[in-house]
Amino acid sequence: MKYTVTATDAVQQQLADIYLRAADKNAVQQASDRIDVILKFAPEKAGAELGADRRLLILWPLAVVFRVLPDDYRVEVLRYRYLGR
């Protein structure tokens, strides 16, 4: 089943700021695209549990914290972090 991936405007802005400041914008874009696909199709198996209902997925140069809402077939992105230099 395909999940809908959502994020607040503030979280979307985090990703935009990361992209604008990144030395390798292509790597950020590719990681973001791959994260989106993973979260749409297999979010409950992606990454590692952080506790409670949160998970962490790392695809260099990005890390993303998210939670899965299986009853709604929805994934909520909570935070992006840039791991590159």
What CATH number does residue 20 fall under?
3.30.2310.20
* DSSP for residue 17: H
The whole-number pLDDT of residue 85 equals 67
Regions of the chain short of the pLDDT cut 70: 85
Cβ pair 53, 64 in contact under 8 A: no
On whether the pTM is more than 0.85, the answer is: yes
**What domain count does the chain have?**
1
* DSSP for residue 46: S
Question: Which structural domain range is residue 69 located in?
Answer: 4-82
